[in-house]
Amino acid sequence: MGAGTKRWEQTVDFTQKIQQTTSVEGICDHLIDLTKNYGLDRLIAGTIPAPHLSPSEQKSNILFAGWPQDWMRHYVNQSYAYVDPILYRVTTAPGTAFSWRDTSPPPGREVSSKRMMNEAAEHGLKEGFAVPLVTLEGDLATVSFGGEAMDLPQEAAGLIHLVAIFAIGRAFQLQSQSELKFDPLTQRELDVLKWCAEGKTDWEVSVILGIGESTVRSHINSAMGKFSCGNRTALVVNAIRAGLIH
Amino acid sequence: MITVIPGNRTAEYPEIFDAVHALRHQVFVDEMEWTDLASPDKREVDQFDDEHTMHLVSMQEGEVAGYIRVLPSERPHLLTDVLPDLQEVECDVGPDTWEASRYCVSPRWREGRRAFGSVGGELIAGLVEWSLASDVKHLIFEFEANWILRALQLQFLVQPLGRLHQIGKQSVVAARLSITSTTLPAIRDKREYHQPVIRGLEPIKLAS
């Protein structure tokens, strides 16, 4: 099997794994596992803040906060969003993914922009790769990867571009799911559900868990109520989608 | 509202299809500059506009505002016959898998360059309603990579079928979107419209 085929299979594997990941931290870890091979061991992602927002408002747009913390603080305090050449390119030409090298400072901000990039390098963010995106709501979003020494062949850049879209998409899914606020399932309901997902009958589940068959049924009914669905299949599908069982 | 018209009944709607093919020419040839599709009569028609195709037309104020069509995956379709380079692995085909193409909204009915506008959203809602009524579970798309983000936001389960390809200024990718129990609710929530967009929808069987 060629290296290209192997990389492709890793990519598909990643995209499927990411859609079952239930935490933003988990998504970040998976992403870094993949990009660190190319010298990119840090990432940040979020919707693009308008530069006039206050530091606290700017932070609220961040989906993955993987920059070094002292750099993040410094960036916000210095209002670097105004001079950031990567943000500038994302907001002015949100077409394809790009290397940080292929950016230019906002007009009139050349000096402070250069200072910002030098300081980023001191914090381990010498080189990087950014993926600009547009959300369903029409907001600009981006995933930006950084590191000490990037070695990213063109073919791998395409794959990173692809997985970055899946990662940010999953992060939005998790965000909207947490807004839906399902009543949380109890541990016992989860135990029962896991066995239902394995195709076990009520009786089998009752034997496995050492509880009565009617108790199994009442757990299932209670879980169906929480998910507003009327049958076991829909319940299992909903629980998988919510990331409660795999 | 969306009107679903099977390919073997297009002749009953000559005015609608004249407008559909004119819109397709305007969007794909004039705006997107897919010059291969250019036609002297300004009507874009291809080899897949046959009796096996399903046409979904968004009608607003009596005019064609948007359009998308679906082709059965068991027959030749764009991914197999026109864009095979986009495919890294062969996609499973079957009656539960159709391929969507020629998604377009008339300029007059667009809202902003980027947002999920009401006609564009109605077409996606209609496509999923039709799929659910027709036992179609998977939709193949060849689209700009950014659409994967939107598909995930709409709670589709997404499987990439190939690498990104640079076509003009666009990064294009083939993907299989699977409909989940939360897809239609998510689409309706985003649109803030919870009624069916296809009136009187019944499972429609195509002539074989």
The answer to whether B208 and B14 have CB atoms below 8 angstroms apart is no
Can you give the pTM of this predicted structure? Answer: 0.81
Q: Is A66 helix (H, G, I), strand (E, B) or coil?
A: coil
DSSP A73-95: HHHHHTTGGGT-HHHHHHHH--S
Q: A47-56, A207-216, A219-228: which has the minimum mean pLDDT?
A: A47-56
- Measured between its terminal Cα atoms, the distance across chain B in Å is 27
CB nearest A170 (choices: B115, B152, B160)? B152
Taking the C-alpha atoms of residue B17 and residue B38, their distance in angstroms, rounded to an integer, is 17
* pLDDT, position A169: 95
Q: Is a pLDDT exceeding 50 seen at residue B206?
A: no
pLDDT tens-digit map of A37-61 = 999 999 999 988 665 666 666 655 8
Cβ of B146 within 8 Å of Cβ of A165? The answer is yes
Judged by a CB distance cut-off of 8 A, whether residue B92 touches chain A is no
Q: Is a pLDDT exceeding 70 seen at residue B166?
A: yes
| Among the listed residues A121, A155, A125, A132, the one whose alpha carbon sits nearest the alpha carbon of residue A43 | A125
Taking the C-alpha atoms of residue B37 and residue B25, their distance in angstroms, rounded to an integer, is 8
Q: Complex ipTM, two decimals?
A: 0.90
Q: With cut-offs at 50, 70 and 90, classify the pLDDT of residue A117.
A: very high
- Measured between its terminal Cα atoms, the distance across chain A in Å is 30
CB nearest B114 (choices: A19, A97, A138)? A138
Q: A106-120, A145-159, B101-115, B127-141: which has the minimum mean pLDDT?
A: B101-115
pLDDT tens-digit map of A143-172 = 999 999 999 999 999 999 999 999 999 999
- Mutation target to probe the A interface, by most A beta carbons within 10 A, among B152, B155, B156, B178 is B152
- Nearest chain B alpha carbon to A242: B182
* pLDDT, position A93: 77
* pLDDT, position A148: 95
| Among the listed residues A69, A6, A19, the one whose alpha carbon sits nearest the alpha carbon of residue A240 | A19
Q: With cut-offs at 50, 70 and 90, classify the pLDDT of residue A1.
A: low
**What would the mean pLDDT of A67-95 be, rounded to a whole number?**
90
Judged by a CB distance cut-off of 8 A, whether residue B32 touches chain A is no
* pLDDT, position B205: 41
* pLDDT, position A62: 84
User: B121: distance to nearest CA of chain A, Å?
Assistant: 10
* pLDDT, position A227: 77
Chain A contacts in chain B segment 95-154 (CB below 8 A) = 112-116, 145-146, 148-154
**What would the mean pLDDT of A125-145 be, rounded to a whole number?**
92
- Of residues A221 and B95, which shows the higher confidence score? B95
Cα-based distances in Å from A116 to A66, A124, A183, B168:
18, 13, 46, 33
Amino acid at A1: M
